[in-house]
Amino acid sequence: MKLKKWQVIVIIICLILGTLLHFTYQLSNYNPIVGIFSAVNESVWEHLKLLFYPMALMAIIGGFTINKQYKNYWLGQVAGIITAMLFVVIFFYTYTGIIGKNIAILDIGSFVVGIIFGEFVAYKIIQNKTEYKAEIPSILLIIVIFLSFVIFTIYPPIIPLFEDPIYGTFGLEPKRID
């Protein structure tokens, strides 16, 4: 399969899966195992899972299907994932810092643009003819990001990145109903 066609398929699947992951924790009746892979609250950190897990899943699938054709496959994948996540964080804190509140349509838009931008970066690196020999570090970095989501969902630092702005809770902490 051609890389460009693969990247378009990946973008579509990531948008669909990421959207579904926004709701799976609640639909699972707040199952903590499902919470490792889903947004458990409305914090910025938890919304990064909506990008990371679909992109990582598609990277793994691509690792079995198209990886052998491209020398920089894993470097491109990790760079794309990190780019998407950084875009969402930077965009969110920039626009909310300017206007003083978050707007759902901008948050959804940053999710879409983040995935597209991340996959574009991945594409550019993967199709580059220069070999960077970064397969093992790239895979290890994806594993570190995964472990960070697991740990910080269960034991989130008490800082704004991890705080649910609606309920003021962190991680798997129950919602406060006042």
Q: Please list, in sequence order, all residues whose beta carbon lies within 8 angstroms of the beta carbon of residue 37, skipping any fewer than 6 positions away.
A: 21, 24, 49, 53
> Residue-wise pLDDT tens for the chain (178 aa)?
789 999 999 999 999 999 999 999 999 999 999 999 999 999 999 999 999 999 999 999 999 988 788 889 999 999 999 999 999 999 999 999 999 998 999 999 999 999 999 999 999 999 998 888 899 999 999 999 999 999 999 999 999 999 998 899 999 876 655 4
Closest alpha carbon to 92 in 107, 79, 112: 107
- In this prediction the pTM is 0.92
How far, in Å, CA of 121 to CA of 76, rounded?
A: 7
* Per-position DSSP letters for 27-58, written without gaps between them: HTTS-HHHHHHS--SSSHHHHHHHHHHHHHHH
